[in-house]
Structure 1
Amino acid sequence: MAGKRVGSTMTAGELLGRLRRHYIEPSRRLPGGIFVPEVGMNGGYGAGRRCDAIYVGFTTTSGRQLVGHEIKVSRSDWVAELGRKTGKADAWADQCHQWWLVVSDPDIVRAGELPEGWGLMSPGRSVTRMAIHQPATVKTDHHPDWDAVRSVFARYDTLRAEAVDAEQKAAREVEQRKAREEADARVARRIAELPDATELERQLDLVREALGAPIDFTSVDRPPRHGAIGLQALREVAAMVAAHGSLARVAHRITEGYANPLTSAQKAVDDLAGALSAVEAAGSRSESHCSAEDVRASA
């Protein structure tokens, strides 16, 4: 093959993907068959043997056949397979209507090495079709054993369940990611609504200035430090303001409603002294008036 070979650097997984597209077109709603990778023979003759890939055709177009595949991506793997007395594919090759060797590079297989009846294919230039180098012999009057058919569909059922679990897991992860994003958005909104740290510091300075003393934020279960205002005192002021409406009303309640009794007594004494002074002044004026009348009468 001249120039760079299309599949020369492919891994087994990539080659399996290309083979799947050869049989199953992604755009078709009803592909006419199923493609099942890594099918183990779990019962009957060949138990424990594995087929790299099985295609089961359901329609006339797909051939209504069981088509088996063995995948090789290196010359050494293929040579090792040839050296085995009983290859892993023997049991499956006997059960399938067609058997194909799928290689990443056709040069992996040399002339005369391909077993009789096997087909040979490798990735072509088209991403949807494989290049056929040797057609496989089709067993026209062939009926696969029930163990082989059951193994294919058992594997298919397992893969389908795994796909459903993976889909549900992906859906849960999407929901969890969405919930985290919503929570992060709520936190971001709350942070955005918070005042700037500089503004909070300015407001705290104004509170300290209005109080005329620093606030002891540690004074929860003990008296505040000397010269500071404790949190309990601030709570009491807040409670009084909440009860009476404003600091002015609180001050009024303190100075008028609950006046200092000493101040009231002093005021009463002062008022009494004023009254007595007024009485004495009135008595003096009366005596003076009487003396003047007496003088006029004696004259």
Structure 2
Amino acid sequence: MTFEPEQLGQSSQELASKLRELRKQAGLSGVRLAARCHMSQSKVSRIENGKVRPSLVDIEQILRALDAPANLIAEISALARLANTEWRNLRELRRKGLGTRQAELRALEASSAHIRYLLPSMLTGLLATPEYVRASLAHSPADTSKAAAGKLERQAVLYDSSKRFTFILTEQAVRWPVVAPLPLAEQMDRLSSLTYLPNVRLGVLPLGTVTPRSPLNTFTIYDASLVTIETSAGSLVLRDSRDIQSYLDEFSGYEECALFGEEGRARLAEWSTSCRS
């Protein structure tokens, strides 16, 4: 299936309308359809009114219960895929203000219990020193003062013991010279100190580590409900359960290969010493 980026995330109401119309054509009430799908009637109602974004599994159950023809199955499945995928253009994010993006991320972090980060190229703001944060935003033509402040304020969430964080960083991400050697060494020292937090698991993948796959993009998994994938032009947001499970499986593969605890701290200390020398 091909589509334009601006179509992503825009088909929820159309999907809801088509599902409602299809149920009525089949002569079924919401209660009867819910029973056939093993869903609650309230969930079916919320889906048909566009108040809940159905997963592809939900859609398959509904279409099977309605005995939908093949052409409609293809059309509605495509709509469901679009509804569960969203594109965030970097130009649009800059227009709204990078500080607004920090508020969105803070809300995601507040509503999640376990957040997983794969960082193949550079560090996320939650792990960064103030100097690293400022340097990471230096390329932006917009005013980044609010964004920098927002990144640093968000770091307080790491000390919320009700949440769990797992970070996997490649050696390239740790050692990429975003800042000068001495501040970079201090950044590595901060990473090492964060590994002592009981709710933070931080692992590194040294160069030469054999992994099941090659990491192509930075991605973040919020519980098992949402994945964001970062690119140089913007970010992709995935909400379908099968897409999320695919990223959870990929993350687990890297996690099995990463160095944690004393081994990870030893590598960070080695790289920090190299920067200082």
TM range (shorter): under 0.3
Query: Which structure would you say has the larger RCO, counting Cα contacts within 8 Å and 6 or more residues apart?
Result: 2
Larger radius of gyration: 1
Return the TM-score normalized by structure 1: 0.23
Return the TM-score normalized by structure 2: 0.24
